[in-house]
Structure 1
Amino acid sequence: MNLNRTSPDPAVVRALTPTGALRASINLGNPILAGRDPGSGEPKGVSIDLARAFAEHLGVRLELVVFDAAGKSVEAVAGEQADIGFFAIDPVRGADIAFTAPYVLIEGSYLVREDSLLRSNEEVDRGGTRVTVGKGSAYDLFLTRELKHASIVRAPTSPKVVETFIEQGLDVAAGVKQQLEADSRVHAGLRLLPGHFMVIRQAMGTPKSRGEGPAQALRDFVEDMKAKGFVAEALKRHGIEGASVAPAAC
């Protein structure tokens, strides 16, 4: 099935696939977007569905380049070891990566112990408060800029955040709301602070060095996938709750 309105420019296809295949950088550290099939162990999720659809649109073979952390996935695209990737939009990452508009919006939340005195997101940024985040994640980049008084402790990956939070006796864990909710069901005595401290704008991206043509082709593809209901259907198919399809780009 050709999900886009027009066939891609052959020059754009060549620029996007210098090895002849579309290498898609996949971060398994964000359960909203990707994970492993419990039966086969193969990667599955919204980002894999989008990567497969884009490869089909380009008429090329898909290669998944899989990582356990966002930072590693970003480095692969920025270093041209992958041709596209799936990331939260951030100005630091934007130095080397051309982003599309977001296709999914995800809440970033804080997790604390039941007996914590913290009751709201606004109370977290205080001297002496230690917040753990996944190294190189969107939350790491955002909170590094935003927190003026609290300190940051970086876990190796986002899925290790709550484990690090518990083992080191830290004050707050920050991450994807759904991941924190799942962890709180495994570890007793934890609670989420109400609301969210940020909304993560998940987008696709390609190395800026590939030029404007490939970047625009990827932007057009994402808008088409949102408009045709592909993203909404993928979220439903994978049983993802708490994430919403981003509005059309202006």
Structure 2
Amino acid sequence: MSERDEILAEIAPTGVIRAAVNMSNAALVRLDPVTGSLTGPSAQIALELAAELDCGLSLVQYGSAADILAAAEGNEWDVAFIASDPSRVDRFSFSPSYTTVTASFLVSDGSALGSVGHVDVEGVRIAAARTAAYTKQLERRIRKAILLHTANPASALDMLVSSQCDAAAGLTESLSRFCKENPGFRVVEGSFSKVPQAIAVHRRCVHASTFLSDFVQQHCCADKTGN
């Protein structure tokens, strides 16, 4: 079996590369309302990956990173565009980071919390999605505030809107978009984490893992940006 065939056997066992993308992260992938196609870094890199291997591509849309992780054992996708958090390395192999996104806090306009440094104090309640990579980083950072886990990022925002918490953690891009659509809220100054985004495959996919590492280093590392 040729090297390409070994890679395709792992990365496209159905004949096309099924690439899982997280639709809750507009900094990485979004739906073009005019063309109906997916755009953004994740979608573009997936297209380049398919072109590199001369293979078909199917972008599989998920509502959150948690949904992607939950579908990992269900044979729904072959590669996934998710954060390369250390808590996930027992299940997946990750490419080098192709970009980095930041996470911050959303608060009400009337909140006394002005910056990231103001949030970790006694009595402050922070809502954050349980399986999000930035929540894993937040768990390692928080010392005094109360961390309230939610099912997904939208639930964290709902808790803030209903005054069940004092701040909602999330990706800065998503929080900023929420502010534009929902007056009365603002993003505090600064960020509490930088979340590296990578291409993941199951740990058993050793040939694909090596290929993706080389692919990202050659195609993407020079273009990494913070969001």
2:166 is aligned, of 146, 166, 171, to 171
The answer to which of 55-64 and 140-149 deviates more is 140-149
Return the letter of the residue paired with 1:46: P
Per-residue CA deviation, residues 135-166 of structure 1 (Å, 9 max, x unaligned), is 42122222233323323334443345433321
User: Aligned pair 1:141/2:168, yes or no?
Assistant: no
For 1:8 and 1:55, how far apart are their aligned partners in 2?
16
Change (3 A) 1:10 1:209: same
For 2:121 and 2:157, how far apart are their aligned partners in 1?
20
User: Aligned pair 1:224/2:218, yes or no?
Assistant: yes
User: Aligned pair 1:100/2:95, yes or no?
Assistant: yes
The answer to which of 162-171 and 107-116 deviates more is 162-171
Q: What 5-or-longer segments of structure 2 have no aligned partner?
A: none
For 2:150 and 2:50, how far apart are their aligned partners in 1?
33
What's the TM-score, normalizing by structure 2? Answer: 0.88
User: Aligned pair 1:203/2:177, yes or no?
Assistant: no
Change (3 A) 1:173 1:30: same
3-state secondary structure, aligned to 2:180: helix
For 1:33 and 1:53, how far apart are their aligned partners in 2?
15
3-state secondary structure, aligned to 1:39: coil
Tell me the residue number matched to 1:186: 181
Instruction: Map 1:1-150 to 2 at 5 A.
Output: 9-77=4-72, 80-150=75-145
For 1:137 and 1:19, how far apart are their aligned partners in 2?
29
Tell me the residue number matched to 2:152: 157
The answer to which of 148-157 and 48-57 deviates more is 148-157
3-state secondary structure, aligned to 2:196: strand
3-state secondary structure, aligned to 2:123: coil
For 1:131 and 1:85, how far apart are their aligned partners in 2?
28
TM-superposed CA distance for 1:92, in Å, is: 1.1
3-state secondary structure, aligned to 1:117: coil
Alpha carbon RMSD of aligned pairs, Å?
2.3
Contact kept? 2:21, 2:82, Cα under 8 Å:
no
TM-superposed CA distance for 1:218, in Å, is: 0.5
TM-superposed CA distance for 1:175, in Å, is: 1.1
How many residue pairs get aligned? The number is 226
3-state secondary structure, aligned to 2:85: coil
Contact kept? 1:27, 1:68, Cα under 8 Å:
yes
Change (3 A) 1:158 1:41: farther
Contact kept? 1:77, 1:97, Cα under 8 Å:
no
Contact kept? 2:22, 2:63, Cα under 8 Å:
yes
For 2:173 and 2:63, how far apart are their aligned partners in 1?
17
Contact kept? 1:112, 1:190, Cα under 8 Å:
yes
3-state secondary structure, aligned to 1:217: helix
For 1:76 and 1:47, how far apart are their aligned partners in 2?
18
Tell me the residue number matched to 1:214: 208
Change (3 A) 1:125 1:193: same
Return the letter of the residue paired with 1:11: E
